[in-house]
Amino acid sequence: MADHEASAHLFTTDRLDEETSMTTQTTAGPQPVATRRTSAPRSRGSRLERRRQRWGWLFVSPFLAVFALFLVFPLFYAFGMSLFTSTLATGTKFTGLGNYAKAFTDPLFLEGLLRVAAFAIVMIPAQLIVALAAALVLDSLTSWLSKLSRLLIFVPYAIPVVIGALMWSFLYSPKFGPSATLFTAVGLPTPDFLASDTVFGSLVNIVTWQWSGYYMVVIYAALRSIDPSIYEAARIDGANGWQTATRIKLPMISSSMVMVITFALIGTLQFFTEPVVLRNIAQGAIDAAYTPNMYAYSLAFSYSQFNYASAIAFSLGALVFAGSYLFLFLTRKQSGLK
């Protein structure tokens, strides 16, 4: 996602400025096509050019309609709703940023935010280490066993998140027994994977199991695209395996790593499905405000506080956006975004 030329527009303002100045130029007079700095695919007179432009818009407009209807509009709508407060006694009334002031002093929301931050710190490296180690090993082997392992490691991604979490909740459950059987066999007391102090690790395990394979495939694909003659050169220069991996392979796939981390970050901050499913079984260990998304959901659909829920959801969206943008900004060198 991060390293292609188009994304540069997100991060370099000068290009965007160029775009805007181009637009003002073109609207100014009838001869702008000739003065455009970016050359059109083929400028054969402005009428043909204008017709081409219309076709471009025609091709993208169906998507843009859906984009406006189900992304742009809901975002504005959520923001608008979050500015009002509605109670039975007073009806709906405009309260400005009151809901946001309330959200950022609400211990339930803040605890949820801290919790997803903690998940991000543990879960993202866990997924990344498994995915990277697997990809590096797979890249060095071409046996039937490595091909089979590549598929097996990926399979959890094809399992719906809900089903994955259900399966693990069975495996964790002391009632159904695999853990109990294993631990009593070695004469140890069975740990409770669903107690309030262990459920964090249990969730990390589910997410790592579910997503590492997908990230592994992305990283593996990037590794395969490296020209092998570079390894040959490194070998002649006397590099050992560890040096090849850390000084050549890692830097060369850094843009894929940035993409993988960004996706993992976005996913972790909006953690929802796994804790909701586990909550059925881990009674008491996971509350309704365990993550900000769960809190927003229960505010809206259990307590009908849609305005406050919108403020929570919108704040979370803004934080996720800011977090991933900041991450992409900090890694712009590695990702080739400049």
Partner 1 sequence: MAIFANDAAPKDALTTVTGVPDHAFRGPRGNRRSGGRRIGSHVFLIILAIYFIVPIWWLFVAATKDTAGLFGSPAFWFDGNFAFFANVAELFTHQGGIYWRWLANSFLYAFAGGIGATILAILAGYGFAKYNFRGRNGVFGVILGSVMVPLTALVIPTFMLLSQYGIINTPWAVILPSLLSPFGVYLMRVYTQDAVPDEMLEAARIDGAGEIRTFFQVALPMLKPAIVTVLLLSVVGTWNNFFLPLAVLTDPQLLPVTVGLNRWTALSNAGAGGEQVWNLITSGAFISVIPLVLSFLFLQRYWQGGLAIGSIK
Buried b (16+ CB within 10 A) or exposed e, 195-228: eeeebbebbbbbbbbbbbbbbbbbbbebbeeeee
Which of residues 75, 108, 122, 204 is near partner 1 by CB under 8 A? 75
Min dist. Cβ of residue 88 to partner 1 (A): 18
When asked if residue 239 is in the footprint of partner 1 (CB under 8 A), the reply is yes
When asked if residue 181 is in the footprint of partner 1 (CB under 8 A), the reply is yes
Q: Which stretch binds partner 1 (CB under 8 A): 98-106, 120-128, 187-195, 280-288?
A: 280-288
When asked if residue 338 is in the footprint of partner 1 (CB under 8 A), the reply is no
When asked if residue 74 is in the footprint of partner 1 (CB under 8 A), the reply is yes
Helices (H), the chain: 8-11, 13-28, 32-35, 46-67, 73-82, 98-103, 107-139, 144-158, 161-172, 178-185, 199-224, 229-236, 241-243, 250-252, 254-269, 273-279, 292-301, 306-330, 332-335
Nearest 5 degrees, angle CA 81-CA 297-CA 320?
75
Residue 43 phi/psi, 5-degree rounding, is -90, 100
CA–centroid distance for 12 within its chain: 22
Q: Which stretch binds partner 1 (CB under 8 A): 9-17, 93-101, 106-114, 117-125?
A: 9-17
Q: Which stretch binds partner 1 (CB under 8 A): 89-97, 108-116, 129-137, 196-204?
A: 129-137
When asked if residue 250 is in the footprint of partner 1 (CB under 8 A), the reply is no
Min dist. Cβ of residue 185 to partner 1 (A): 11
Q: Which stretch binds partner 1 (CB under 8 A): 90-98, 105-113, 120-128, 268-276?
A: 268-276
> What part of residues 86-125 is at the interface with partner 1 (CB under 8 A)?
none
> What part of residues 296-335 is at the interface with partner 1 (CB under 8 A)?
296-297, 300-301, 306, 309-310, 313-314, 316-317, 320-321, 324-325
Binding residues for partner 1, rule CB under 8 A, total: 139
